Amino acid sequence: MATLVFFHAHPDDESIATGGSMARAAADGHRVVLVCATRGEHGEVAEGFLDADETLADRRVKETARSAEILGVAAVEFLGYVDSGMMGTPENDRPGSFWMADIEEAAERLAAILRREGTDVLTVYDERGNYGHPDHIQVHRVGVRAAELAGVDRVFEATVNRDEMTRGMAALAEQGLLPADAPDMEEFELGMAESLLTHAVDVSPFIDTKRASMRAHASQIAETDFFLTMPEEAFASAFGTEWYIRHGAPTPVDAFGTWLLD
């Protein structure tokens, strides 16, 4: 049995980026650990959604626990930093924000978990944080350093296949299946070029689990969100493969790896 630690910036990131891989690893009998850098304090939430005296952080912790249960996660950890908000917002500079964290100090917090868990695989994000979010960029920096400190040599950068996503959205648009609120790929500069990727993990057998995990994060992913309004076939096409870059591996590759433990 192996131990896989999935390091994410905020609650709900695990569902979108690596939910299928987490569910697959758990189903195979491996120990899956989720580490969130923050509790997502500065996410957007609809007015009246929270209970009286409930903070958004409180709700997102509860949602993370439910998501973890759905995915088969054995343990959930929070590093204790505060959500930094989007790039260029005042939240970036506030004391305690993850973006302002000292890399070595934050990496040691994560490394302590990696050592305790006897980690075999760690996932982070690509160097751009998938779409430039400060906390996502920091996950890359802190995670890579923590792996060095803890001696974890199998590090995978969760990302988006930009070329495949562009092709897929164009195909969905032609079929009339693309939701009106789907992100603009050129505007977001989402993910990385296909030539830089090393692993394509087929998570299609766990696509319903992945979507249920997203649904657990109701404060951030409403039933009207494009993630949940996409037809099942379109959702499976868009999210049935999870893409990674093996940190330190040469690219391009002749053929994509197919699993994090191969």
Query: In Å, how far from its chain's centre is CA 257?
Result: 19
- Convert the pLDDT of each residue in 225-250 to its tens digit: 988 988 898 889 889 999 999 999 99
Ranges of beta strands (E only) in 92-237 are: 121-125, 155-159, 199-202
Tokens encoding 46: 């609809």
List domains and CATH numbers for the chain: 3-246 (3.40.50.10320)
CA-atom Rg of the chain in angstroms: 17
- Convert the pLDDT of each residue in 163-190 to its tens digit: 988 887 777 777 776 666 676 656 667 8
User: Cβ(50)–Cβ(59) under 8 Å?
Assistant: yes
- Convert the pLDDT of each residue in 77-116 to its tens digit: 999 999 999 999 999 999 999 999 999 999 999 999 999 9
- The pTM score is 0.94
3-state DSSP assignment of residue 194:
helix
Q: How far apart are CA 59 and CA 76, in angstroms?
A: 15
